[in-house]
Amino acid sequence: MNNLMKPDGYHALLDLKQTELAIKKIKDFFLNSLSTELRLRRVTAPLFVLRGLGLNDDLNGVERPVAFPIKCMDESVAEVVHSLAKWKRVTLAEYEVQPGFGIVTDMNAIRADEELDNTHSLYVDQWDWERVMTREDRTLRYLRKIVNKIYSAILRTEFYICETYPQLRPYLPEDVFFIHSEELRRMYPDLTPKEREDAICKEHGAVFIIGIGGKLGDGQPHDLRAPDYDDWSTPNEDGLEGLNGDLLIWYPVLNRAIELSSMGIRVDREALLRQLKLQGKEDRAQLYFHRRLLDGRLPLSIGGGIGQSRLCMVLLHKAHIGETQSSIWPDQMRQECREAGMTLI
């Protein structure tokens, strides 16, 4: 269990019963706050999609989706979603959602290749949201505006849950610090991307790192991204490439940075073709989702995912995500967590 962090002197501030009640309070309150901030309508989402349509999220491009054959459909193969990044955009078109409005849904996924630790699980639950935008809104200024709205909903939820459970004390800063991944690399050229995240988050508390997916000055990306949902290759008004990013906070319980959301302005026709070529995946242009986008039958949009169990974890001051969700963990990890005061659900 080399990836397991065991904070010295850790003890949960809420017992199991309080924790379960608090989880529901957080989920209900945050969803209402997020929906109000971004003008989102809740929709029903699939747990799986058909293989070969290009609808599943490829994440970093190396994760294997959980798949199964469908007996009554001539053994067609379905895949459990990794996220709903592309499905949501199709749904915006089907529902004819207008600019300035969007959708939000509960996304549940299984990521069998995930490396298990304090913040990563086989089971993923997110609020997946998507909002229609205009061509004029495809700017870094607009991205920052949406990030600040999301962070306001997080701060409001933190205040609410700390008022409900006085043993919890608020610790999140009032504002988000924005920085491009290339600027961050230049600040800490000798650190790895994860070490850079720790350094900048420890200094500022809440950080949005812009430009995730494209190669930086050292020839390496800050992190990998699939080429067909976020726009990470379009130059922005700061002269750097990327209209997407990650929202992270400094988490004192684990003494490290934790990502709460990955989001961005989505690819338009030009960005999709450019990013498919950069990653040598031009063959995807013939898939259902990609054809609809290239033919102009999908709206311009911005969207992302916000981890439900992870947000509950950091707002309830838990040391392991298994304290706010039920999943499968190695026996050794369960034992070590129990000895370290982390009671996994």
Catalytic residues: 57, 111, 126, 246, 259, 262
What is 311-333 written as a DSSP string? HHHHHTT-SSGGGSS-----HHH
Backbone φ/ψ region at 246: left (φ over 0), alpha (ψ -120 to 50), beta: beta
Tokens representing 98 are: 């207008």
Q: Tell me the CA distances in angstroms from 278 to 215, 221, 225, 232, 302, one per residue in order.
A: 10, 12, 12, 11, 22
Tokens representing 71 are: 């007996």
End-to-end CA distance of the chain: 18
Which one, of 118, 78, 94, 97, lies nearest residue 251 by Cα? 118
Element (H, E) at 50: strand 48-50
Rounded CA-CA distance 303/40 in Å is 11
Is the separation of the CB atoms in 300 and 134 below 8 Å? yes
Q: Strands, E, within 196-325: which ranges?
A: 206-210, 244-251, 256-265, 301-307
Which amino acid is located at 143 in the chain?
A: L
